[in-house]
Structure 1
């Protein structure tokens, strides 16, 4: 009995680093934090960039059958972050909420339960009317947020209204290059490309 218990503890000890992300081969998609723009472009063999500038490489792609803009963020020619920005337009804002939930479920499946999760009500008018949550979102009355952490990355998802549009953004930031990602967040990212960091 004692040997079985020791064996189980040993196996759990071996598997824990895999679950925590300590043995990750890639930081994001087929790239690792710190790679050059050239190396990241080479890793995206199935797509051509739609825009390349000093600090970003942009692609149009799909995740979970939704159109997204994929933005790689660089500082000093080193990959420091990446963003998926939902690029679907819905007439009914409730569809944004459904897409957010779908993305959050996929992130939870991959990274486990969020470290932090919240719904922030900025105006309580529709708080108790569940069928009006999409309207509340489009009016800027509410925003949604969740984040995860691995050994090498901080990951977050946010859904909010900004400048009369609903934004759904998934962000990945390197922990290894925090000074690079902070520089990117403050100086090199157009507000049209990404919302303020979390």
Structure 2
């Protein structure tokens, strides 16, 4: 029961963390999307996958699916003790990595899916290997990412590749990449703090995300 509670908390926390690593984008008057970088420069975003057709948006589901429809589509083991009607959680294996599979709903409609990987490694560099492995799979499926960042917040171990995993666990280093496929944003991040490492992969619908944010604001106001 304690493990299920930990899984529940993990699924809830992932709601708000991954977007911290994204860069800002803007739309020009001509309707083109540009990526605004931290150094003040920018570049056009070319979506080579825009016209690709998709049968599903996340696993065997589509954005807007109901809770019951998602439940019927999933073959992984459900996490029973999640005290949030807007979240469904499952445990399973994805590309050989164990983890949690989260489905997030707004007004009964699916708007986000996430993988929260739970692999453990004595050699922390193996977390970077896992990240690279998943990234390569995504590149094969969706093409090159529109963002592919290696961020050093503290360069103490920047010259020692054998300590990169340790640097991630300290919060000195993080990895982030993202794709945009039609109305779906895909984001993956490897980050850490206090010697713990977190590896997460998220898919969400941009339009329904705005609705989810508005509903969260309403819920926060109702607390007062």
Q: Do they fold alike, i.e. is TM over 0.5?
A: yes
| Distance change >3 Å, CA 109–CA 185, structure 1 → 2 | farther
Contact 2:168 2:193 in 1 (8 A): no
Between 1:134-143 and 1:162-171, the stretch displaced more is 162-171
Q: Deviations over 1:61-100 (max 9, x none)?
A: 1111110100001111110101100111212211111100
| Residue 138 (structure 2) pairs with residue 107 (structure 1) | yes
Q: 1:66 aligns with which of 97, 102, 105?
A: 97
| Distance change >3 Å, CA 118–CA 18, structure 1 → 2 | closer
Gaps of 5+ in 1: 1-16, 189-198
Distance 1:70 1:59 in 2: 5
Gaps of 5+ in 2: 1-46, 220-224
Q: 1:93 aligns with which of 124, 138, 142?
A: 124
Moved over 6 A (4+): 184-188
Distance 2:216 2:197 in 1: 20
Question: Aligned-residue CA RMSD in angstroms?
Answer: 2.2
- TM-score (norm. length: structure 1): 0.79
| Residue 81 (structure 2) pairs with residue 49 (structure 1) | no
